[in-house]
Amino acid sequence: MPVAAAVSASTVKWTRKHLLGLEELSAEEITLILDQAEEFKRLASRGETKLKALSGTVVANLFFENSTRTKTSFSLAAKRLSADTIDFSAGGSSLSKGETFIDTARNIEAMGANQVVVRHSTPGAPLLLSQHVNASILNAGDGTHEHPTQGLLDVFSIRERVGHVKGLTVALVGDILHSRVARSNIWGLTKLGAHVIVCGPATLIPPHIERLGVEVAHNFDSILSRCDCVNLLRIQFERQRSGLFPSITEYSHLFGMNGDRLKKSKSDIVILAPGPINRGVEITPDVADGRNSVILDQVTNGLFIRMACLYLLHQQQNPTAV
Ligand code: CP
């Protein structure tokens, strides 16, 4: 099918070379990505799964941290748009021989990469890369800073299930302190007019976070009845020092989503989790697999969000491309 048919009907034009975070995007730019992803999803539902939009280009996935969902869906998204792909993982690479992060990226770029997707444990690593390579950079998660495509797919999944985002009350529950997903959700949701509550133990909520325009709560049960959506964030054991909460059992008791809490919630509450989920910690299996959960829809939608991001950045760099 002609690629032009996949172009969003939105009148806003994408002008950015890189996708580094949702903080710098306007509501219109976020909506443009969501609309483009919706269009790709609609085309896929009609069997239009292979588009030629990125034919002749190379998308490199540079992952310096582990990933299941983000890495595979960026790779599939690039293939669905007919790009060639390079999948790089830090393990087994020449990083162990002393090659630097920037040299690694510049060598991958020298193989012809037009777009570089990067995940790194250091906040700001994608921004740094954007200053040292010519390719477009897409942030696939940088430390505790941002995970823009996760924020976009979360907002997309809410909009898809509810029909709109404006006016909704969305709680982000858990480890806000170490969560790049929380930050991207906060930017994306508040820009589209949702009321965001961050909820967790005081030790896992960053000081002054209310300056981002969110409500802060430490008692999950006290906010539950107001929530239209709850996004359950994983405890990031790999990023935190010990002693931030007494025990996993106590955390789960106070902040875990379970059948009892679901019964006290709105009947159509939307349950999200970015994954990977720790069953029995932030969410019990009955809720994770129940009718209110959109956890696997989020994964499906991640493919279309990443297609949209790759497509819009490519269009910006190649304005005459169809
Ligand atoms: N949600 C998310 O980023 O998952 P991965 O770490 O598996 O990519």
**Which atom of ligand 1 is closest in space to residue 65's alpha carbon?**
6
Q: Among 61, 62, 64, 67, which is best to mutate for testing ligand 1, by the most ligand atoms less than 8 A from CB? A: 67
Average pLDDT of 5-20?
76
Average pLDDT in the chain: 94
| 288-309: pLDDT as tens digits | 999 999 999 999 999 999 999 9
Average pLDDT of 260-264?
98
With bands split at pLDDT 50, 70 and 90, how would you rate the model's confidence at 241? low
Ligand 1 atom 3 nearest Cα: 70
Q: Is the CB of 231 under 6 A from ligand 1?
A: no
Q: Is the CB of 70 under 6 A from ligand 1?
A: yes
Distance from the alpha carbon of residue 159 to the mean position of ligand 1, in angstroms? 21
Specify the pairing of strand 58-63 against strand 195-199: unpaired
| 70-93: pLDDT as tens digits | 999 999 999 999 999 999 999 989
Q: What is the pLDDT of residue 80?
A: 98
Number of Cα atoms under 13 Å in the Cβ half of residue 23: 12
Provide the token pair at 256: 């875990």
**Which atom of ligand 1 is closest in space to residue 147's alpha carbon?**
3
Average pLDDT of 196-221?
97
Provide the token pair at 158: 């809410």
Q: What is the pLDDT of residue 322?
A: 60
Contacts of 103 (CB under 8 A, 6+ apart): none
Q: What is the pLDDT of residue 152?
A: 98
pLDDT at 191 over 80: yes
Distance CA 204, CA 227 (A): 20
DSSP string, 263-313: HTS-TTPEEE--S---BTTTB-HHHHTSTTB-HHHHHHHHHHHHHHHHHHH
Q: What are phi and psi of 155, to 5 degrees?
A: -65, -40
Q: Among 68, 179, 181, which is best to mutate for testing ligand 1, by the most ligand atoms less than 8 A from CB? A: 68
Q: Is the CB of 107 under 6 A from ligand 1?
A: no
pLDDT at 2 over 60: no
Distance from the alpha carbon of residue 184 to the mean position of ligand 1, in angstroms? 14
pLDDT at 269 over 70: yes
Domains defined for the chain, CATH in brackets: 27-146+300-317 (3.40.50.1370), 148-298 (3.40.50.1370)
Distance from the alpha carbon of residue 9 to the mean position of ligand 1, in angstroms? 30
Q: Is the CB of 151 under 6 A from ligand 1?
A: no
| 117-176: pLDDT as tens digits | 999 999 999 999 999 999 999 999 999 999 999 999 999 999 999 999 999 999 999 999
Q: Is 110 helix (H, G, I), strand (E, B) or coil?
A: helix
Distance from the alpha carbon of residue 5 to the mean position of ligand 1, in angstroms? 30
**Which atom of ligand 1 is closest in space to residue 71's alpha carbon?**
8
pLDDT at 5 over 90: no
Distance from the alpha carbon of residue 208 to the mean position of ligand 1, in angstroms? 27
Q: What is the pLDDT of residue 235?
A: 83
Question: Angle at CA 118, nearest 5°, toward 23 and 272?
Answer: 60
Q: What is the pLDDT of residue 226?
A: 98
Distance from the alpha carbon of residue 285 to the mean position of ligand 1, in angstroms? 19
Distance from the alpha carbon of residue 311 to the mean position of ligand 1, in angstroms? 21
Q: Is the peptide bond before 319 cis (omega within 30 degrees of 0)?
A: no
